[in-house]
Every structure is written in C-alpha cells, then in structure tokens.
Amino acid sequence: MFLFLIVLSSAIALIVIGAVVDGMLYLLSAGVLLLVVAVLYLLVRSILRTRRGRPTTVGR
C-alpha cells in the first residue's frame, strides 16, 4: 500500500506541475501515465488478494 501511495502522490505532483508550467506537457503525460499504472497496480493487487482468500473444494 505504501508503494501505491508513493506512486499516486508523485503522479499528482507531476500532473499539477505539467498543467501549471508552460511547455511541460511531457510532465503532464508522465503524471497521467503514473496515475494509470497506480490504479492498475491497485486493481491487480485487490484481484489477487480476493482469489487467494477463497477456500477451494479439492477432492469432492
């Protein structure tokens, strides 16, 4: 969860800097890319966590 928060906060910082400073469109796009990566990381982590917690019925 700590990694998610670090990536999310850096993405928000890059988006803000890229939007405010003129000519820094590459920072804006890098921030959006990091935001998408952070959301995908959280999604994959939650999917893997729910699959691991389910009991399996083997041998019935």
32 C-beta neighbours (distance < 10 Å), count: 14
Low-confidence ranges of the chain (pLDDT < 50): none
The pTM is what? 0.70
Cβ proximity of 7 and 38 under 8 Å: yes
Tokens of residue 30, six digits:
């890098």
Domain ranges of the chain: 2-51
CA pair distance 23, 58, nearest whole angstrom? 59
Q: What is the pLDDT of residue 57?
A: 67
Residue 34 Cα distances to 4, 5, 6, 30, angstroms: 10, 11, 10, 6
Q: What is the pLDDT of residue 7?
A: 85
